Amino acid sequence: MTEPQAVDLSIEARWIVPVEPHGVVLEGHAVVVDGDRIIDLLPLADARMRYVPRERVELGEHVLMPGLVNAHVHNPMTLMRGLADDLPLMRWLKEHVWPAEARVLGPEFVRDGIELAIAEMIRGGTTCCNENYFFPDVQAATYRRHGFRAMVGLPVIEFPTPWAASPDEYFDKGLAVHDDLRGDALIGTSFAPHAPYTVSDASFERIALLSDQLDLPVHLHLHETADEVADSLRDHGVRPFARIKRLGLVNERLIAVHMTQLTGSEIADCATHGVSVVHNVESNLKLVSGLCPAEALLRAGVNLAIGTDGCASNNDLDLFGEMRTAALVGKIVAGDAAALGAASVLRAATLGSARALGWGDRIGSIEAGKQADLVAVRLDDLETQPIYQVISQLIYVAGRHQVSDVWIAGRRKLAARGLDGLDTADLVARARRWRERIVGA
């Protein structure tokens, strides 16, 4: 008889939702982890015969699922949560956000905002994010220090900021960050041009060339509002999507964020060229930016991801809330109660978001060989009883406060709601000090 294999960890859960295969719920199974990887997913009895774990975690009334992947964030902006609410996008940006950033933006602001965001994300079941902000070197160092998985955007914008003074400097400093992060186990890089209305044709052409040479994603706000489309028609003679297509950016590396204003031909183009679309439903609702045709994108075969956007416009990093809103709004937009079903929304927030980042072979589902980014959700509260369909319960009933345990790359980051390596009292104190600086500046 073969001797049982020694491994680092076995997680036994009442239910396991692997995401791949789609819509499957397993009962009485275990996920076996060695090092940073999942090595097996099998019935509990078989797991106990085949493996001897150094640690066994028994989750009697929990769902074990892949870590959520937030496909669009501006995490330093957690420090601007609630700064300017109930305003349309351009007034919000020009009259409040950009002036506040001009006063306080710097390495310390970025570090403290990201640390606050990491704590919030872990407690909400998010194990990876796609970042779009300034000082990517500080971002990367902060995420790495806390063992959090992140795609760090290399910002490009035409006006000067404390990070860079000119387009050339944005590129030079961004490429230096990319070189420093080559081969990092947790941190990747993308190009992050802000938006068509803040980036020139010359910069977009340079990004297209470098993205192709370096095989880097391009993380771009696109077709966020009707005004953006109208302004592009006035200034460039074409819609923003057509403009960036002409400049060579419509391909499988494009992470198109918002996409609330789409024609049928643009949806078909996204499918044909492998574009990923990030749905940010709550931010879009709050800023009245428009409604992404998420179900139409899925039906066309477009990879759909989910993001929260930044805390200054959402105002949280709660992907459980985002999934529920996406499912409900998606039905109204499609005029179909079956649209954006629970399993499809969960897939978008896990494997769909992972694929958008180019990391679908690494995270987003519970499969042997993938990284052990895992989340346990308690479903024994009276508010989640009775349970008929587990995935529906996760989307329509459960909340982030029911996340009990989180692992990233096999390392436990949350245990029975307790954070590892983050001092919550200190995070709150620093956030309050930043509020005083921003309000008093």
Give the start-to-end residue ranges of the domains of the chain: 5-66+369-409, 68-356
Tell me, what's the pLDDT at 353? 99
Tokens 């305003």 -> residue = 87
Q: What is the pLDDT of residue 89?
A: 84
What is d(CA 249, CA 297) in angstroms, rounded to the nearest whole number?
19
pLDDT tens digit at each of 441 positions of the chain: 589 999 999 999 999 999 999 999 999 999 999 999 999 999 999 999 999 999 999 999 999 999 999 999 999 999 999 999 998 888 988 999 989 998 999 999 999 999 999 999 999 999 999 999 999 999 999 999 999 999 999 999 999 999 999 999 999 999 999 999 999 999 999 999 999 999 999 999 999 999 999 999 999 999 999 999 999 999 999 999 999 999 999 999 999 999 999 999 999 999 999 999 999 999 999 999 999 999 999 999 999 999 999 999 999 999 999 999 999 999 999 999 999 999 999 999 999 999 999 999 999 999 999 999 999 999 999 999 999 999 999 999 999 999 999 999 999 999 999 999 999 999 999 999 999 999 875
Cα–Cα distance measured from residue 130 to residue 70, given in angstroms and rounded to the nearest whole number: 6
pLDDT at 395: 98
* Helix or strand run (H / E) with residue 106: none
Question: Could you tell me which of 80, 71, 209 has the C-alpha nearest to residue 128?
Answer: 71
Q: What is the CATH number of domain 5-66+369-409?
A: 2.30.40.10
Contact 376, 384 (CB under 8 A): no
What pLDDT does 2 receive?
81
Interatomic CA distance for residues 83 and 91, integer angstroms: 13
Backbone Cα Rg of the chain: 21
Can you list the positions of beta strands (E) in 17-103? 26-34, 37-43, 51-66, 68-73
* Strand, helix or coil for residue 359: coil
pLDDT of residue 440: 76
- Contact status, residue 256 vs residue 190, Cβ threshold 8 Å: no
Tokens at 127, concatenated: 């194990």
Query: Cα–Cα distance between 103 and 297 in angstroms, integer?
Result: 40
pLDDT of amino acid 54: 98
Please give the pLDDT value at position 198: 97
CATH 3.40.50.620 fits 68-356, yes or no: no
Q: How far is CA 222 from the centre of its chain?
A: 17
Cα–Cα distance, 319 to 347 (Å, whole number)? 12
Choose among 122, 147, 117: nearest CA to 132.
117
- The C-alpha angle 51, 57, 62, rounded to 5 degrees, equals 120
- Residue 30: strand pairing partners: 12, 42
* Predicted pLDDT of residue 88: 87
Are 31 and 366 in contact by the 8 Å Cβ rule? The answer is yes
**Which sign, positive or negative, has the C-alpha torsion 286, 287, 291, 295?**
negative
